[in-house]
Amino acid sequence: MAGDFKAEFQEFWTRTVSKVRAYMFCACQNWADADDMTQDCYLRALRGWGQFNGSASREAWLFGIARRTSVDWFRRKKAAVENLEELSRISPAEPPDEKIEKVWDAVGDLNADQNQVIYMRFAAGLSYAQIAQALEIPVGTVRSRLHRGLKDIRGRIGRSDDEP
Amino acid sequence: MNRDAIERLAIDSAAGELNEDARTLFEEYIAQHAQARQWARDISQVYQQTQTAISSRTGAASATIAAISIKSGLPALIRWRPALRWAAIVCVAALLGAGAGRWSRAPNAAMKPQREIASVNPPADVANIDLHSAAGSFWRAKAAAMFEARPYRQVNAAIQAGGLWQKYEQYIKEKHHE
């Protein structure tokens, strides 16, 4: 029984971990923290494995947990971060590519609702239906948030391109 | 169709969320309308740029998955899961039991436990002794008085009436002379 569960969970973990990790990276912009958050997310999923009611897909359920994990992480981080040095530590360490950097900045400037949809779509590769289940919103809302988000990104990229 | 509608369909198409029929119709429509084609191309380009930007950083995730290990937490939790569950059940049951015992009370006075009073029935020969008659020894009369179930007030009245008390005084006198 325990062996079956372990195998099932391992299979689920193998299938989904790259998506969750990418999503967490988008949220915190730091691989070390993304790994911690991913671990935390899977431990929560493990504890709540039996509570899944089957109304959504298991993956959408996991991303609901991932979203709550990231929110909690930011809440804890906000309490812990006291100075600008700490804030600068969580900025990306890799040398920035200008074009990519602009898009990242634009995505970062979106509101949280649009952010979540963009990250789940582009980092985790979730379908509209899965995003809707994870965020507990209608599919139509997912479409409109994605559309508004991309329009905002276009506006911001355009503005920064126009700047001298 | 207005610009928003075209852009939404273009995004859905890029995301693979349009079915085959809808996609065909959409492509035919933008093929016939230059302005719509321009809008669709514009938003599709933003879609691709966003996809590229996010993938450029998060794409490394799959390459380093092996570095992540949940071994530290997973097996231990799996091993202890049933034991933890049973321990939690026992704790909850104990707490409920203690709480019920602590707070439960009889709802009214009639339900209070009654103290059982053992009744002592004297032997027939003792019970039949008449305290006021002279027959029988002093100690038999005392024993009969002891077993007799009557309120103290009545015993006191009997003593004051003279029967038992006179016998006792007589006994003291005899003892004294002896």
Q: Can you tell me the ipTM of this complex?
A: 0.74
Provide the sign of the torsion angle of the four alpha carbons A94, A100, A106, A111, taken in this order: negative
Q: Where are the beta strands (DSSP E) in A80-127?
A: none
Q: Looking at beta carbons, which residues of chain B come within 8 Å of A118? A: 50, 54
Give which of A87, A91, A102 is closest to A160, Cα–Cα.
A102
Q: What is the DSSP letter of B131?
A: T
Task: Name residue, tokens 């009611």.
Answer: A53
DSSP state of A137: -
Report the residue of chain B nearest A119, measured CA to CA: B54
**Inter-residue contact A115 to A153 (CB < 8 Å):** no
Please name the amino acid found at residue A68.
R
| CB atoms inside a 10 Å sphere around CB A87 | 11
Whether residue A124 contacts residue A19, with contact meaning beta carbons closer than 8 Å, is answered with yes
User: From CA B2, how far away is CA B8, in angstroms rounded?
Assistant: 10
Looking at the complex, report in whole angstroms how far the Cα of residue A75 sits from the nearest Cα belonging to chain B. 23
A105 against B72, higher pLDDT? A105
Residue B73: per-residue pLDDT: 47
Q: Which chain A positions have a beta carbon within 8 Å of B75's beta carbon?
A: 6
Q: Which tens digits make up the pLDDT trace of A17-68?
A: 888 888 888 888 888 888 888 888 888 888 888 888 777 788 888 888 888 8
Percent helix, strand and coil across chain B, each to the nearest 5: 75, 0, 25
* Residue A160, helix vs strand vs coil: helix
Q: How far apart are the C-alpha atoms of B37 and B35, rounded to whole Å?
A: 5
Question: Cα separation of A136 and A148, whole Å?
Answer: 19
Residues 6+ apart with CB under 8 A from A110: A118, A149, A152, A153
Q: Cβ(B37)–Cβ(B31) under 8 Å?
A: yes
Q: B80: nearest CA in chain A?
A: A2
pLDDT tens column, B117-166: 555 565 666 566 565 565 566 776 676 667 666 555 555 555 556 666 77
Mutual angle of helices B20-32 and B3-15, in 10-degree steps: 130
The number of CA neighbours under 13 Å toward the Cβ of B154 is 6
* C-beta atoms surrounding A143 within 10 Å: 19
At residue B3 the predicted structure's pLDDT band, cuts being 50, 70 and 90, is confident
Reported as a single tens digit per residue, the pLDDT across B24-66 is 888 888 888 888 888 899 899 889 888 888 888 776 544 444 4
| Residues in A 102-161 with any Cβ partner in B closer than 8 A | 103-104, 107, 118-119, 121-123, 127-128, 143-144, 146-147, 150-151, 153-154, 157
Model pLDDT, residue B69: 43
pLDDT band at A138 (very low <50, low <70, confident <90, very high): very high
Instruction: Quickly state the pLDDT bin for B109 (edges 50, 70, 90).
Output: low
Confidence bin at B72 (pLDDT 50/70/90): very low
